[in-house]
Amino acid sequence: MPKKHTPSYAQTKPSYVHPSLQGSRPSSSTPAEPQTVNQRIQQLRREQAPRATPEQRDEITSLVSRTVPPELRRILHIPEVNAPKPKAGLRPRRVLGAARPPPGPAAPSSWLQTSRHAPAYMRKRKQSSVEHGAPRFSTLATVTDEEYKRLPPPRSLVHQCLRSFAMHWEELCEYEQHYLPALPISLKEALLSYLTLFGGNVCLDFKSFKILFQNDEGTGTSGWDETRFLDLAGLLNEQLTVSDVGQCLRRPNASQTALEMGALSISPEKAKKPKEPAVLQVVDSWEEEAEETPTAQPVPVASLQVPHFTNLSRLSLAHPGQWASWPELLRISPHLGKLTHLSLAFWPRPSMTPNALSTSMVSNHTSVSLGGSHFYSDLDDDWHEAANILRRFSTNTYSLQWLDLEGCNWLRALTWRSVSLPGPPVPGSQDVEPWQIHSVSPSPDWNDAWRRITYLNVFQGWIPSDNQSLQNMPAGIVPVQLMRWLRENKAKDDVRWRLNANETGHAVAEWVQREKVAKGVGLDIHEIRKSGKGLWCSIDHGWGSAAGDNVHQVADRSAAG
DSSP string, 149-212: --SPPTTSHHHHHHHHHHHTHHHHHHHSTTTGGGS-HHHHHHHHHHHHHHS-TT---HHHHHHH
pLDDT at 407: 92
For the chain, how many helices (H) and strands (E)? Answer: 21, 10
Q: What is the mean pLDDT of each run of 10 residues along the chain (561 residues)?
A: 65 61 54 83 83 73 67 78 67 70 74 70 58 69 90 90 93 90 91 91 90 70 78 93 91 53 49 52 64 52 78 94 93 94 94 80 73 77 89 94 94 79 44 50 88 95 88 86 89 84 88 93 93 92 61 37 36
Dihedral in degrees, nearest 10, Cα atoms 143, 146, 151, 156:
140
Strand extents, DSSP E, 200-304: 229-231
3-state percent breakdown (helix, strand, coil) of the chain, nearest 5 = 40, 5, 55
Q: Say which amino acid occupies 282.
A: V
pLDDT at 288: 64
Helix (H) or strand (E) holding 362: strand 360-362
Is residue 556 within 8 Å of 477, Cβ to Cβ?
Answer: yes
> Any residues with CB less than 8 A from the CB of 327 and at least 6 apart, and which?
352
Label residue 59 left, alpha or beta by phi (over 0 means left) and psi (-120 to 50 means alpha).
Answer: alpha
Label residue 423 left, alpha or beta by phi (over 0 means left) and psi (-120 to 50 means alpha).
Answer: left
Is residue 401 exposed (0-12), middle (13-18) or buried (19+ Cβ within 10 Å)?
middle
Is residue 432 exposed (0-12), middle (13-18) or buried (19+ Cβ within 10 Å)?
middle
Residue-wise burial string across 366-389, b where 16 or more C-beta atoms lie within 10 A, e elsewhere: eeebebbbbeebeeeebbbbbbbb
Chain CA centroid to CA 134, Å = 8
Q: Could you count the other beta carbons within 10 Å of the beta carbon of residue 404?
A: 26
Q: With a threshold of 0.85, does the pTM exceed it? A: no
pLDDT at 21: 61
Q: Say which amino acid occupies 396.
A: N
Distances (CA, A) of 3 to 6, 7, 326: 10, 13, 127
pLDDT at 406: 95
Nearest to 131 by CA among 491, 507, 540: 491
Is residue 418 exposed (0-12), middle (13-18) or buried (19+ Cβ within 10 Å)?
middle
Q: What is the 3-state secondary structure (H, E, C) of 86-115?
A: CCCCCCCCCCCCCCCCCCCCCCCHHHHHCC
pLDDT at 419: 52
Is residue 131 within 8 Å of 496, Cβ to Cβ?
Answer: yes
Q: Say which amino acid occupies 35.
A: Q
pLDDT at 306: 87
pLDDT at 1: 59
